[in-house]
Chain A
Amino acid sequence: MTFRQIFIRKIVYLGIIAVLLLPLFWLGQPATVGARGVSGGPGGLLAQLRTEYGLSEAELGEIDPTSEAMRLATLGLRGVAANILWKQADTHKMKKDWTSLSATLEQLVKLEPHFISVWRFQAWNLSYNVSAEFDDYRKRYDWVIRGIEFLKKGIRYNEFEPKLVWDTGWFIAQKIGRADEWKQFRRLFRDDDDFHATRPKELRDNWLVGKEWFQRGEQMVDQGAVLRGISPLLFYSDRPMCQMNYSEYLERDGIFGERAKRSWVRALEEWLEFGNREFPTSGDEVIRLNDREALDRQVAEAAARLDELAPGLREKIRQEKLRRLTPEERIALETLPQERTVEQQMQAFQAEAKITVSHREVAQRISGPNRQEALRLADEAEKAMEKSERIVQQRTIVNFEYWRMRAQFEQTPQALEARELIYLGDEAFRNSDLIRAKEYYDKGLAKWRELLDLPEFPQLVKDGSTGRELLDIIRNYQRILDARDEPWPQPFILQDVIDLHKDRHPDFQVPQ
């Protein structure tokens, strides 16, 4: 190849490069800021898309020159580098090399500061997995806090990501409050001046601090941040649940009386406030958890008015349906539920569905001038019923009714006293003071009896969670009696609780 040919080829290459750069320049032109009343330009297509989707670095969060330098230094191999670091972090964790693990994670997030999963996964890794590797609970606490600090750092880089804020609240509330070593963790959290800085000691409760973070997350979403990957129902339930847990843990820490009562009152207020929040459902419908009772009343009223239009019709239809059942289904239905065979249970279930009379069926059998009104009422009742069922489904997810009842009964004087007496009984038992322990327990169980007999809470004695808790208390009472070599009292004051719940807890030994 002659020199001339080489030269021409170079010129051609340069020309092609220049031509290819033109569209790139047009696409990547940066936006400009206007000055002195002149509006700035929107920039190229990429700049416009960045603005539209809020993807520019400055809009995501803090800009870190170190991170930027590192990303540039990888020359487009950022993904590869991040993968290598991720693998290294796994190896360091496996080999329990915690110093290197921390350093690797620091590098990893500098490479991928806006990759939310990196922050979430590795923060979980630090707070839940790495912390569990240590034998000393103080070290475990240190690593839980490291995970939380890691998340807080992630929030600085991603100021509009509610999931990171929610995770921070969750770690502070649940990891510190629900760990096996929750007593030690809560104590260390209270004494952690570095973490809390200027926060007063009395507010250094993990549930309250967690609640603050959940609240911050809620505010972000309310101001327009997009919530991805978390159900809004669960997202908004965590703040009021923190208040519930705070109230519960106050009593576990031995704080009762007015302070505990105030906390439960607030917990109820916040729970009802949560119940008033609107949540979208799959059918473009908006529901509020508090609406169920009103909807049920609406259904009952519509049904009553429908029945008034054609008295006895509903029962007549039901009898007709009953007659259409097969003999086996009828036998299954007539057999007591606890005596049904497996096959009969299925048959009874199907039979129940077959003999149910819908409001629409009643309305359609009405003729004459009332027909239109009947159809309207049936429609109203059916719609309200559907909505109510949807609310029931959502309520089940967050155990709405239990927590509402719990916040209500916990603020009664009977509950407050019962809790305090059982607490004192446990303390006395721990200190081997069996006489006082029994005294406190006797009084405490009597208070529980009063509470269960209150007409405001007829469902309390049947409630599974309360039943489980009471069986634990009864088990402890049995231990105290065993230690004192005393017989089991006959009749026992909470015998109905044992009878109702013993079958659901096979490990519970019925006292004799």
Chain B
Amino acid sequence: MVIEKVLPPFWTWFVQAALVWVALIVVVCVFGLLLASFVLTVERGFKRAAVSIGRAIVEAFTDLIGAISFRRISGLVFLAIKESIRRRVLAVFALFILLLLFAGWYIDPASTNPSVLYLNFVLSSTGYLIILLALFLSCYSLPNDIRNRTIQTVVTKPVRISEIVFGRVAGFALVGTVLLLLMCGVSYLFVISGLSHTHTLSSENLSAMTDPQGIVEGYTGFTSTVHGHKHRVYVDPDGKARVEMRHGHVHRLEVSGIPPDAKYSLGPAEEALLARVVVYGDLQFRDRDGVDTKEGLNVGDEWTYRGYIQGGSPAAFIWTFAGITPRRFPDGLPLELNLGVFRTHKGNIEKGVLGSIAVRNPRTGLTVETEIFESKEFALNQGVSTNQFFIPRLITKASSVQIIQRKRIGPQGVELDPPSETLDHQLAKKQEFDLFEDLTDNGKLEIWIRCLEPGQYFGAAKPDLYLRARDGYFALNLLKGFLGIWLQMTIVLAYGVMLSTFLSAPVALIATLGVMIGGLFRDFMTQLAFGQTWGGGPFESFYRLITQENVMTQLEPGLGTTLLKMADVGARGFLYAAANVLPPLGEFGWSNFVAYGFDIPGEVVLIRLLQTVAIVLPVCVAGYFFLKAREVAE
């Protein structure tokens, strides 16, 4: 599975994100205060303005923290639910069912990985529908109440403005939650039924496999074709059967009788819907001179996600895993590898490129090569089995054992790790190795992958090798996928309610839509803010656009260029702030995890949950201030 944006570890993220969040809140508060002071001073004079602002701050503390009542909020939540039902939100569910009914027209079960298509479809269609619903519900609710003056019936009751805002958001969120749960249940049934199939196999489909002496070693053949695919099967003379993975699944094959004239029955599709709980490591590259580098080679791919290493040289991928303990992996390490292969010459067309896998202790440098393997390229994307390895706890067979020092280019020149004086060459003379005693240091261990054939290259990115700790429950993972949609929905609701406190319904709708779309360009805005894009900042880019100037050419030095660059410096601060205020909705979609059968890590869920809270809370507070400022609310 491709993960282009890798999140840092939780605490690293938390400290960084908290600092930015606090800074932004302070900036927004100061800016808001200055704006309010200016407007009120112009309207009422300095003294009265100061009094009003002071009173507003005190009231805000009371409304938002001191006197907030969950009972009153519950009442308002109930009102919001009633309003949602009155506005026929259940029609969205009916629309969803209608979409599923016709989905079979567009989803091809004969695709190489149909589960990916099915799951992407249910998750994306649910996402679009729910977000649209949230958009309309949140943007039209308050403005309609204000226009129809029904808001008077609420504000004349002993409720606080903050409770109105929180009540709306929470009420709509509750409605959305129920809808999402319903959709999740229906989606589960839809996916299960869409992928359900089996094949048939008879003795006529099997042919004997013989050794050079003509002795039958087993039988092989193909099952019947269903959903545009068939599986190759291997049956031993004693009746043991193996079915090859195709289209992302296998079937259990039961043989009753003596092959080949036995009765064969295949079970339902298995392993199509997984939730692999995996452990990722940090990836570093080793170049052909044996020196550590951050990036691999580029073999001409436009997409630089994967770095490549040269075969038949000291080059290697080095994944460093942490937290490897006997308690987590009592029997050994189950590894899965998804590789890219690039050939500079044909080599042996009939065979994959040879590679090796080794385990290294980062402290002692003891490196044990456990296996030589033949590459299988992009296995995960094609619905065939990946390169799977198992490194046992007790390693008794090794194709090579050596002490390897890692070379890094530091300020002092070449640095060796471990240093030469600490090397213990006796370690490499052992015959057996214990994974945890000999090859793990304080829970840390390195996995080295090398390409053995000169002139050929292997390519990989960080998520391409992982330890498959266990398999979680698919249904639970699907639920987590829907949680991602729920988070998106909540953010949209908060923005919609906040913007509708001071804008008319259609304008609020467009503004919320703008915020959502702006969120999609968040990364680009950040790049602009840090000057990482070609063609300069917004002002310079605009100048280049209208003068049709190439982004690569230098602008003529002069006053105009200096002014443009200065304006860009000013715009960068604004862009950085805007990029952080806009919600990164795209990053909340976890359909890839669910579709490719990977458990959504708890850390990712926690980070996104905190992000949602960090967005929704201040947005609601802003909504409170805007609504309070409106005459109607007063």
Residues of A within 8 A of B (CB): 65-66, 69-70, 94-100, 102-103, 106-107, 110, 134-137, 139, 180-181, 184, 194
- Nearest residue in B to A98 (C-beta to C-beta)? B381
B382 touches A103 (CB 8 A): no
Task: Assess whether A96 is in contact with B381, with CB atoms less than 8 Å apart.
Answer: yes
Q: Given A69-B105, A103-B117, do A137 and B349 touch, yes or no (CB 8 Å)?
A: yes
| C-alpha spacing A1/B230, complex, angstroms | 72
Q: Given B105, B225, B377, which contacts A136 in the complex, CB threshold below 8 Å?
A: B377
Chain B residues whose CB sits within 8 angstroms of the CB of A107 once the complex forms: 106
Q: Looking at the complex, which one of B116, B225, B353, B383 makes contact with A135 (CB distance below 8 Å)?
A: B353
Chain B hits for A136, CB < 8 A:
352, 376-377
Beyond A98-B112, A99-B113, A99-B382, 14 additional pairs, beta carbon < 8 A: A66-B105, A69-B102, A94-B303, A96-B340, A96-B378, A98-B378, A98-B381, A102-B111, A102-B112, A103-B108, A107-B106, A134-B378, A181-B349, A194-B225
Least Cβ distance of A70 to chain B in Å?
Answer: 8
Does chain A have a CB within 8 A of B341?
Answer: yes
Contacts of B391 in A (CB 8 A): none
Give Cα A98 to B384, complex, Å.
13
Q: Which B residues touch A69, using CB under 8 A?
A: 102, 105
> Which residue in B2, B107, B302, B376 is a CB contact (below 8 Å) of A97?
B2
- Which 6 residue pairs of A and B lie closest in terms of their CB atoms, listed nearest first? A135-B341, A66-B105, A135-B377, A99-B113, A94-B303, A99-B116
Asked if B408 lies at the interface with its beta carbon under 8 angstroms from chain A, I say no
* Complex Cα gap A180–B347 (Å): 11
- Known A-B contacts A96-B303, A103-B117, A139-B382; the reply to A180 vs B346 at CB < 8 A is yes
Query: In the docked arrangement, what's the CA distance between A181 and B375, Å?
Result: 18
Q: Closest chain A residue to B113 by CB distance?
A: A99
Query: Which size class do B's interface residues fall under?
Result: 20 to 34
How close is B114's CB to chain A, nearest CB, in angstroms? 8
Min Cβ gap B501→A in Å is 30
**Of the residues B106, B107, B303, contact of A95 by C-beta under 8 Å:** B303
Per-position 1/0 for B367-409, Cβ under 8 A of A: 0000000011110011100000000000000000000000000
- Residues of chain A lying within 8 A (CB to CB) of residue B230: 194
B444 within 8 A of A: no
Q: Which residues of A contact B111 (CB under 8 A)?
A: 99, 102-103
Digitize B96-121: 1 where CB-to-A-CB distance is under 8 Å, 0 elsewhere: 00000010011110011100110010
Interchain nearest-CB distance for A238 vs B (Å): 27
Report B71-128 residues with CB < 8 Å from chain A CB: 102, 105-108, 111-113, 116-117, 120
Q: Is the interface of B mostly helix, strand, loop or mixed?
A: loop
Q: Tell me if B305 is interfacial: C-beta within 8 Å of chain A.
A: yes
- B331-385 interface with A by 8 A CB criterion: 340-341, 343, 346, 349-350, 352-353, 375-378, 381-383
Residues of chain B within 8 A of A181, CB atoms compared: 349
Give min CB distance, B359 to chain A, whole Å.
Answer: 25
Q: How far is the CA of A260 from the CA of B377 in the complex (A)?
A: 39
Q: How far is the CA of A137 from the CA of B349 in the complex (A)?
A: 7
List B contacts of A98 (CB < 8 A): 112, 378, 381-382
Q: How far is the CB of A421 from chain B (nearest CB, A)?
A: 27
Contacts of A184 in B (CB 8 A): 349-350
B contact residues around A103 at 8 Å (CB): 107-108, 111, 117
Indicate if the CB atoms of B105 and A99 lie closer than 8 Å.
Answer: no
Chain B residues near A180 (CB, 8 Å)? 346, 349
Which of B106, B120, B350, B352 is A106 in contact with, Cβ under 8 Å? Answer: B106
Query: Given the complex of chains A and B, what is the CA–CA distance between A99 and B108 in angstroms?
Result: 10
Report Cα–Cα, A97/B305, bound state, in Å: 13
Per-residue A-contact encoding for B230-250, CB less than 8 Å = 1, 0 else:
100000000000000000000
- Give Cα distance in the complex from A107 to B108, angstroms: 10
Q: Which residues of the other chain, A, contact B346 by a CB distance below 8 angstroms?
A: 180
Contacts of A139 in B (CB 8 A): 377, 382
Chain B residues lying within 8 Å of A97, measured Cβ to Cβ, are 2, 381
- Nearest Cβ in chain B — how far from A143, in angstroms? 10
With a 10 A CB-CB cut-off, give which of B340, B375, B377 has the most chain A CB atoms. Answer: B377
Q: How far is the CB of A391 from chain B (nearest CB, A)?
A: 41
Residues of A within 8 A of B102 (CB): 69
> Is B302 within 8 A of A99, CB to CB?
no
Q: Which of B200-217 contact A (CB under 8 A)?
A: none
**Chain A to chain B contacts (Cβ below 8 Å), 27 pairs:** A94-B302, A94-B303, A95-B2, A95-B305, A96-B340, A96-B378, A97-B2, A98-B378, A99-B112, A99-B117, A99-B381, A100-B116, A102-B112, A103-B107, A106-B106, A110-B106, A134-B378, A135-B352, A135-B353, A135-B375, A135-B377, A136-B376, A139-B377, A139-B382, A180-B346, A180-B349, A184-B349
B112 surroundings in chain A (CB, below 8 A): 98-99, 102
Within the complex, the shortest CB–CB distance from A146 to chain B, in Å, comes to: 9
Using CB atoms, name the residue of chain A closest to B302. A94
Which residues of the other chain, A, contact B378 by a CB distance below 8 angstroms? 96, 98, 134
Q: Nearest chain-A residue to B115 (Cβ)?
A: A99
**Cβ–Cβ contact B381 & A134, under 8 A:** no
B502 smallest CB distance to A (angstroms): 28
A134 nearest CB neighbor, chain B only: B377
Most-contacted residue by chain A among B107, B352, B381, B383 (CB, 10 A): B381
A497 CA / B102 CA spacing, docked (Å) = 69
In Å, the complex CA distance between A110 and B107 comes to 12
What's the Cα separation between A95 and B113 when bound, in Å?
Answer: 16
Minimum distance in angstroms from B387 CB to a CB of chain A: 12
Closest to A102 in B: B111
* Bound-state Cα–Cα, A103 to B302, Å: 22
The interface residues of chain A lying within 8 Å CB-to-CB of B350 are 137, 184
- Give Cα distance in the complex from A176 to B275, angstroms: 39
Bound-state CA distance A181–B347 (Å) is 11
* Most interface-central of A66, A69, A139 (chain B CB within 10 A): A139
Chain B residue nearest to A64 (CB atoms) is: B105
Select from chain A the residue with minimum beta-carbon distance to B456. A135
**Minimum C-beta distance from A219 to chain B (A):** 30
Give the distance to chain B from A213, nearest Cβ to Cβ, in Å.
22
Closest to A140 in B: B349
Q: How far is the CA of A65 from the CA of B102 in the complex (A)?
A: 11
A106 to chain B: closest CB distance in Å?
Answer: 6
- Bound-complex Cα distance A136 to B225 (A): 22
Task: Evaluate contact between A66 and B376: CB separation under 8 angstroms.
Answer: no
Complex: how many Å from CA A103 to CA B102? Answer: 16
Within 8 A of A (CB), among B161-195: none
B247 → A minimal CB distance (Å): 10
Chain B contacts for A66, CB-based, 8 A: 105-106
The CA-CA distance from A224 to B149 in the complex, in Å, is 72
Could you tell me the distance between the alpha carbons of A69 and B383 in the complex, rounded to whole angstroms?
Answer: 30
Would you give the shortest CB distance from A127 to chain B, in whole angstroms? 16
Identify the closest chain B residue to A146 (Cβ): B112
A97 to B1 CA separation, bound complex (whole angstroms)? 10
Q: How far is the CA of A70 from the CA of B99 in the complex (A)?
A: 12
> Please, which residues of chain A bring their CB within 8 A of the CB of B343?
135
Q: How far is the CB of B304 from chain A (nearest CB, A)?
A: 11
Give chain A residues whose Cβ lies under 8 Å from the Cβ of B2. 95, 97
Q: How far is the CA of A102 from the CA of B381 in the complex (A)?
A: 12
Q: Which residues of B contact A95 (CB under 8 A)?
A: 2, 303, 305
Complex Cα spacing A137 to B340, Å = 14
Q: Which of A97, A100, A110, A136 has the largest number of chain B CB atoms within 10 A? A: A136
Chain B nearest Cβ from A43, distance in angstroms: 30
Residues of A near B383 (CB, < 8 A) are 99
Q: Which residue of B lies closest to A73 (CB)?
A: B102
Bound-state Cα–Cα, A99 to B2, Å: 13
Bound: A111/B622 CA distance, A: 44
Q: How far is the CA of A102 from the CA of B247 in the complex (A)?
A: 13
Task: Kindly report which residue of chain B lies nearest to residue A137, judged by CB atoms.
Answer: B349
- Chain A residues with CB under 8 Å of B106's CB are 66, 70, 106-107, 110
Which of B108, B346, B378, B383 has the largest number of chain A CB atoms within 10 A?
B378
A110 to B108 Cα, complex, angstroms: 13
Which of chain A's residues has its CB closest to B112's CB?
A99
| Residue among B2, B105, B305, B375 with max Cβ neighbours from chain A (10 Å) | B105
Q: Which residue of chain A is the closest to B339 with respect to CB atoms?
A: A135
